[in-house]
């Protein structure tokens, strides 16, 4: 972030007028839709006259499709001000109500309702809007049929109202919330999904009976024809931030702005000048000695606003061709984080073609230029898209271009085939490298709860997408076959409401034929009648090679091993909720001769519906931990670690939040021996100097938020942290205790942003 000379904060008081309403540019040419709906949770019959009335809600969690045991009805109405939806939820006296207040996007096992809208009705992108009984909200973008991302925040109206019989909720979602295709003849066909969750039992009832537990979710939405309206909007969100560094004893200030313009329903432009880096959001602490880069989500408003069209995954964990954390990431000259001068994003549609354009420019000699172009077209049972990216890195004399094509085909109601192909072209210092990859997944619903899945992927040795994207590794050929069965209708006396059993056979080689994995995976995922859940997974691995440990040098042969993990979540009952995780696993060069283990327990205590505190502890023991040193030299360590995760959440009325978050880690690794990996994969003990090591890490944040208006906030944030690596052994408990005294960084941040709608 580029910091400017310190201005006075007093003029900011002049920037707080009431935001102007959005303009419905063609409402006069459309039916009036009746009286304007006042979003207060009362469901006035006159306001909702003419709305579509929905009562056929059915159980989808557990996925029995039986009629809802809780009377639920909803109304849907298209108005000039937006898409209006109301819920009336009857809750019998014997079913407890969960009134826990939550921060935006916090979620949890709560009484809540969801509206998910696919504005184009093509199964590509959905927008999820949630309201809880206590008035909390969340919004998410849904892509790839059932992949949810809550980084995005939209501006929409909402209200909940508790009644004697249960509770009500009302939504008003403006038409400018997302880009959408041009209406046909005064009407618009959208994909619509509504559901209700009963927090105390974990049951979900929905209309229609779509579920992300199936291969399709977005594609199974009800197609609803509505009167078409359009709204234009110009919104400017300037921000100013001041930071006082307690270590260096100095203060600095910065300012910038995000601009959102939607002239009509088909076009949307987003721009940013000196964008905010989301300093109010802290990443979780991660200790990573592996070869694969840690993945982090992005909370910066510009990069979350209608970003769904750029979603292009490669079917492996977190993979994507546009990973926005690259923009403003570590500079190519090693000087720290790059400054972003400006960025522009254009979304829209032309006929049946949807498009997205993203351009971002970094500052300075080491600054990079990022470009992305996305196109897709929906057919009756198929969808085809293309994504092209370019990154210019003058400091490295490097240009990276990537082209991807994705395709989804649903030949019938039971079969879904998703495929993509990607190629990279890298020019660096006069040398050109080309690489390619492709993935395919076939999902087949066999009926009666049975499902099969086949997945295949190939990433060539020269495929490079990480200039703009994220791919954990290339040089890979992977395939699996999975058979699953979902059981519902369990006996009433059972503690479980459903089980999902999965068995998977996995084979993975690198692109040179070296065996990397042969695995049998067994999973049981269960919903409990207390509203909680369980997850049990067993992996059995045959002997194989690790070609990433030495960072591309000699691969290491590793004997067979196993891992067994268990997770249990119990939602709030009375004043307490808790989560428990445990695992046992073998590995390293010892194979099954040495078994490590670990456990984590995190209880949460609710002083009230608005105030809660949590404190968790995690312990891990790894008897044969392999850590790369350099070249083909690897250390074998006995590792122990302790981690504390604690905090306080306080919702002070509807406009104020206070959150305290603490993470501390203590880790100790005692050397057993040093080995050198031979060309044939054998490990030979050597006398090269490798030392014990230990580390401690701390992250502490106190964050206060005052909500001035929708998408307009005042933040006051205190943060402190530190990291120390020692080349000698210190027990994990001692390192954990010492971590609380770390003070490598200590800052006080004040940030003000306000959204003006014109």
Are residues 105 and 174 located together in one domain of the fold? yes
Q: Are residues 184 and 136 in the same domain?
A: yes
How distant, in Å, are the alpha carbons of 688, 728, 731 from that of 669? 17, 9, 9
Residues 173 and 45 in one domain: yes
Which pLDDT value is given to residue 559? 98
CA 643 – CA 647 distance, rounded (Å): 14
User: Is the CB of residue 243 less than 8 Å from the CB of residue 255?
Assistant: no
Split into its structural domains, the chain has a count of 2
Task: Report residue 215's pLDDT band, with 50, 70 and 90 as the boundaries.
Answer: confident
- Tell me, yes or no, whether 488 lies in a domain: no
Domain co-membership, 244 together with 112: no
Confidence of residue 144 (pLDDT cuts 50, 70, 90): confident
Q: Which domain holds residue 157?
A: 31-227
Whether 206 is covered by a domain: the verdict is yes
Task: For tokens 């959150």, name the residue.
Answer: 659
Which domain-ending residue is among 164, 194, 227?
227
Strand partners of residue 126: 142
**281 in a structural domain:** no
Do 125 and 243 lie in a common domain? Answer: no
Statement to judge: residues 247 and 191 lie in one domain: no
pLDDT of residue 19: 34
* In a shared domain, residues 244 and 171: no
What are phi and psi for residue 325, nearest 5 degrees? Answer: -65, -15
The answer to whether residue 302 sits within a structural domain is: no
Is a pLDDT exceeding 90 seen at residue 8? no
Calculate ∠ Cα 299-304-306, nearest 5°.
165
Does the pLDDT of residue 298 top 70, yes or no?
A: yes
222 and 74 belong to one structural domain: yes
Name the band, by pLDDT with cuts 50, 70 and 90, for residue 739. very high
Q: Is the same domain home to 72 and 104?
A: yes
Q: Is 723 a domain residue?
A: yes
Q: How far is CA 83 from CA 183, 235, 432, 564, in A?
A: 15, 20, 51, 47
Pair 56, 86 in one domain:
yes
Please give the C-alpha separations between residue 555 and each of 33, 228, 468, 520, 540, in angstroms, as whole numbers. 68, 60, 28, 22, 21
Whether 733 maps to a domain, the answer reads yes
**Helix/strand/coil percent split, the chain, to 5:** 5, 55, 40
Last residue of a domain, one of 163, 193, 227: 227
Per-residue pLDDT tens digits for 156-201: 999 999 999 999 999 999 999 988 888 888 899 999 999 999 999 9
Output the pLDDT for position 21. 36
Residue 472 lies in a domain: no
Question: How confident is the prediction for the chain on average, in pLDDT?
Answer: 91
* CB-CB neighbours of 687 under 10 Å: 7
Check whether residue 244 and residue 199 sit in a common domain.
no
- Whether the per-residue pLDDT at 277 is higher than 80: the answer is no
Q: Which of 161, 192, 227 is the last residue of a domain?
A: 227
- Supply the pLDDT for residue 733: 97
* CATH code assigned at 136: 2.60.40.1190
What pLDDT band is residue 151 in, cutting at 50, 70 and 90?
confident
Tell me, yes or no, whether 660 lies in a domain: yes
Overall pTM > 0.75? yes
Q: How confident is the model at residue 109 (pLDDT cuts 50, 70, 90)?
A: confident
| Poorest-pLDDT segment among 14-28, 91-105, 133-147, 355-369 | 14-28
3-state helix/strand/coil string of 509-553:
ECCCCCEEEEEEEEEEEEEECCCCEEEEEEEEECCEEECCCCCCC
Q: Are residues 40 and 127 in the same domain?
A: yes
Q: What pLDDT, on the 0 to 100 scale, is given for residue 626?
A: 97
């Amino acid at each position: 972030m580029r910091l400017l000379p310190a201005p006075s904060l007093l003029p900011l008081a002049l920037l707080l007028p009431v935001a102007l309403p959005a303009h419905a540019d063609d409402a006069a040419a459309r039916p009036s839709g009746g009286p304007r709906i006042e979003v207060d949770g009362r469901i006035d019959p006159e306001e909702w006259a003419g709305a579509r009335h929905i009562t056929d809600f059915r159980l989808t969690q557990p996925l029995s499709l039986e009629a809802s045991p809780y009377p639920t009805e909803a109304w849907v109405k298209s108005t000039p001000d937006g898409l209006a939806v109301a819920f009336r939820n009857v809750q019998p006296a014997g079913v407890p109500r969960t009134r826990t207040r939550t921060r935006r996007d916090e979620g949890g096992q709560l009484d809540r309702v969801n509206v998910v809208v696919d504005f184009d009705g093509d199964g590509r992108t959905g927008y999820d809007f949630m309201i809880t009984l206590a008035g909390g909200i969340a919004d998410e973008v849904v892509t790839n049929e059932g992949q949810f991302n809550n980084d995005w925040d939209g501006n929409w109206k909402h209200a909940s109202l508790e009644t004697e019989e249960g509770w009500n909720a009302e939504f008003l979602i403006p038409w400018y919330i997302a880009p959408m295709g041009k209406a046909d003849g005064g009407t618009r066909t959208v994909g619509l999904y509504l559901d209700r969750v009963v927090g105390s039992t974990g049951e979900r009832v929905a209309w229609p009976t779509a579920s992300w537990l199936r291969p399709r979710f977005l594609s199974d939405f009800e197609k609803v024809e509505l009167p078409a309206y359009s709204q234009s909007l110009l919104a400017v969100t300037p921000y100013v931030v001041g930071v006082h560094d307690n270590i260096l004893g100095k203060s600095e200030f910065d300012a910038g702005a995000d601009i959102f313009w939607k002239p009509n329903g088909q076009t949307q432009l987003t721009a940013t000048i000196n964008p905010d880096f989301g300093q109010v959001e802290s990443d979780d602490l991660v200790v990573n000695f592996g070869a694969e880069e840690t993945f982090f989500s992005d909370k910066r408003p510009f990069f979350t606003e209608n970003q769904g069209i750029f979603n292009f995954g490669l079917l492996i964990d977190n993979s994507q061709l546009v990973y926005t954390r690259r923009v403003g990431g570590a500079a190519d000259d090693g000087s720290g984080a790059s400054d972003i001068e400006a960025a522009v994003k254009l979304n829209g549609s032309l006929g049946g073609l949807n498009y997205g354009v993203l351009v971002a420019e970094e500052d300075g000699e080491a600054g990079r230029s990022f470009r992305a172009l996305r196109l897709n077209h929906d057919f009756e049972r198929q969808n085809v898209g293309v994504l092209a990216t370019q990154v210019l890195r003058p400091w490295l004399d490097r240009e990276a271009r990537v082209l991807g094509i994705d395709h989804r085909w649903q030949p019938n109601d039971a079969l879904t085939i998703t495929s993509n192909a990607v190629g990279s072209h890298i020019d660096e210092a006069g040398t050109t490298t080309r690489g390619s990859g492709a993935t395919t997944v076939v999902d087949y619903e066999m009926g009666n709860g049975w499902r099969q899945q086949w997945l295949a992927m190939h990433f060539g040795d020269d495929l490079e997408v990480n200039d703009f994207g994220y791919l954990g590794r290339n040089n890979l050929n992977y395939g699996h076959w999975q058979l699953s069965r979902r059981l519902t209708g369990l006996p009433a006396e059972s503690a479980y409401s459903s089980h999902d059993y999965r068995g998977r056979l996995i084979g993975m080689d690198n692109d040179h034929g070296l065996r990397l994995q042969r695995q049998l995976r067994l999973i049981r995922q269960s919903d409990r009648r207390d509203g909680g859940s369980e997850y049990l997974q067993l992996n059995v691995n045959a002997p194989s090679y690790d070609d990433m440990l030495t960072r591309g040098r000699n691969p290491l042969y590793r004997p067979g091993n196993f891992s067994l993990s268990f997770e249990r979540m119990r939602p709030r009952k009375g004043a307490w909720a808790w989560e428990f995780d445990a695992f046992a696993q073998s590995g390293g060069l010892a194979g099954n001769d040495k078994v490590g283990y670990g456990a984590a327990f995190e209880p949460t205590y609710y002083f009230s519906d608005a105030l809660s505190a949590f404190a968790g502890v995690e312990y891990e023991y790894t008897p044969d931990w392999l850590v790369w040193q350099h070249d083909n030299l690897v250390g074998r360590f006995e590792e122990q670690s302790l981690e504390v995760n604690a905090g306080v959440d306080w919702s002070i009325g509807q406009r104020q939040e206070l959150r305290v978050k603490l993470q501390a880690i203590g880790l100790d690794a005692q050397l057993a021996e040093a080995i050198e990996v031979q060309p044939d994969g054998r490990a030979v003990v050597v006398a090269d100097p490798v030392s014990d090591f230990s580390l401690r890490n701390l992250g502490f944040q106190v964050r206060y938020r005052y909500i001035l208006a929708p998408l307009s906030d005042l933040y006051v944030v205190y943060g402190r942290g530190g990291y120390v690596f020692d080349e000698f052994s210190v027990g994990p408990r001692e390192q954990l205790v010492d971590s609380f005294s770390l003070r490598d960084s200590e800052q006080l941040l004040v940030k003000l942003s306000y959204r003006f709608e014109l």
